[in-house]
Amino acid sequence: MAPATGDFGAAPVAEPVAATSPFGFVAAPAPAARLCGGIDILPNNHHTVTNAQDPAGFWNEPESFNLNPELLAQIQQDNSETDIVGTLYALTLLLTRFGDAYNEWKLSAIKGCCFLKQRLGSAAAAKIEAIGGPTIDRELVDELFE
């Protein structure tokens, strides 16, 4: 791209290029927050939650996927460690709001459950069930914590 007329010292600005696979497919952009009246609006789907997971299995920035501020505040009242709060919050959101996409987020949830079992022991599954209340699918919780 050539510099603008009269701007002879400016370096060319690269145009954004979509990533392509070796097979010529163009990768879709990741869902981004939408700006609405100066407020970031997160996509309300399981990708918002799973994309925030640390490769080690925990979630430590729950504000980055804050789809239910009241639930997050409730979990923060009972727990002080950010990675435990984030992981409890993420798993509760996945189980209570996105159960229909279970097979898409199952592996992320299993990693999170392994992290919680290491940190909280056998009480981890019961903690998730207590937070989720009657809306949580206990069979899915049992499967994730096997």
pLDDT band at 136 (very low <50, low <70, confident <90, very high): confident
Residues 16-45: tens digit of each pLDDT: 444 454 555 554 444 444 444 554 556 678
For 60-100, the pLDDT digits (tens) are 999 888 889 999 999 999 999 999 999 999 999 999 999 99
pTM summary value: 0.71
Percent of the chain with pLDDT over 90: 58
Q: Which residues are bridge partners to 40 per DSSP?
A: 35
What are the extents of the domains in the chain? 34-144
**How many of the other CB atoms lie within 10 Å of CB of 38?**
5
